[in-house]
Amino acid sequence: MAAVSTACLGLAACTTAGADGARQADSGPIESRAVIAVSAAKDRDWAPLRPLVVRAEQGTLTAVVVRDDRGRKVSGDFSSRHALWKSDQAPLEYNSRYTITAKAVDADGIATQTSTWVRTVKPKRLAYTGLSPYGASVVGVGMPVVMTFDQPVTRKAAVERRLAVTTKPATLGGWYWVNDQMVRWRPKQYWRPGTGVTVRSRLEGVNLGNGVWGDDDDLVRFSIGSSTISTVNIGKHTMVVEQDGQVVRKLPITTGKPGWDTRTGTKVIISKEREVVMDAATLDVDQNDSEYYRLDVEYAMRLTWSGEYVHAAPWSVASQGKENVSHGCTGLSLADAGWFFNLSKPGDVVNYVNGTRQPEDWNGYTDWNLSWDEWKKGSALS
């Protein structure tokens, strides 16, 4: 016994094994075998969607408290054996400091604790989004879902994973990146009338690439109305209007004259305007040019971004059904245009046939000019 006592002299604590195998000390604290590890410790660019994770090695967590720089607590859950705690609150706020305090005990009940911090990323730029059709809209069978960004997106797959379209009844469809700032979703075939659609985007906290991060989440609900599909025969100067599979009217029309040819292909009504001023200056036509015009137009339905409309053109009634005299628009009599305007809605389909000018893929909702196989290749997840 004297030898044992001598060996312990000068030490802060002398630890021996008791009868039950537990550690014992003659004096001073005993260090816990439990080790606490924090995944985010002192990270200054933590991604807001990543959970904060606290682990106890050779021990059990007894408490984890995470607070933001305003003192608000971050929620989370322990694993079944309290070996791990993970936050369930996402996204965390940008450019915010989070303090993490954790306690654990080892098998002998000896406690330890740690305190550290993490700061979330500070974006160089935030991207704001627009989502259409707008909530509660009733649209035609050709209308795509359109999401636009005010900043270029380079991590398209990361964005696409955070977008969801749900429909009733179930509808097969997919996303297509038109460019770095627009992605659209369309069904494989035209929408079924009566379909209810819910679109969700969850982009807050998402890295869009090149220092750009998502700023908001969004949700819209809309529905599909009756099927109105019209066919414009450019060469024969007619428009056949079908609703729910039945021909309802055949109208005389005029389209673009030589040099101002109307584009062929499948178009979708983007918007409706009861009255609009059409100015050739928007097409870079000088006011001194013989082709210059500025007109007050009624019953205008936009088909392309460049300015093709279906609209009332009472000045060309004598040519309607006989020859093409417009600057690219589809002109009808005032009465016929009013009838078609009242029948139509954004998303209705207008097919143009028997012409020579091809459509540009950016010019309007040209989605239906692509086959389903071509459309699927436009997904970042394909």
Q: Is 329 a catalytic residue?
A: yes
Q: Measure the CA–CA gap between 79 and 27, rounded to whole angstroms.
A: 35
3 state DSSP class of 267: strand
Contact (Cβ atoms closer than 8 angstroms) between residue 121 and residue 46 = yes
How far apart CA 359 and CA 265 sit, in angstroms, is 7
Q: Is 327 a catalytic residue?
A: no
- In whole angstroms, what is the distance from residue 332 CA to residue 338 CA? 9
What's the rounded Cα separation, in Å, for the pair 55 and 82?
9
DSSP 282: G
Give the active site residue among 8, 82, 327, 329.
329
Distance CA 34, CA 187 (A): 55
Q: What are phi and psi of 282, to 5 degrees?
A: -70, -15
Tokens of 67: 């607070």
Q: How far apart are CA 144 and CA 137, in angstroms?
A: 13
Across-strand partners of 147?
131, 183
Instruction: Report the C-alpha gap between 254 and 323 in whole angstroms.
Output: 6
| Alpha helices for the chain (secondary structure H) | 2-8, 156-160, 334-343, 372-376
Which position among 8, 14, 237, 311 bears the catalytic label? 311
CA atoms within 13 A on the CB side of 262: 32
* Other C-beta atoms lying within 10 Å of the C-beta of residue 360: 13
Which residues carry out catalysis?
311, 329
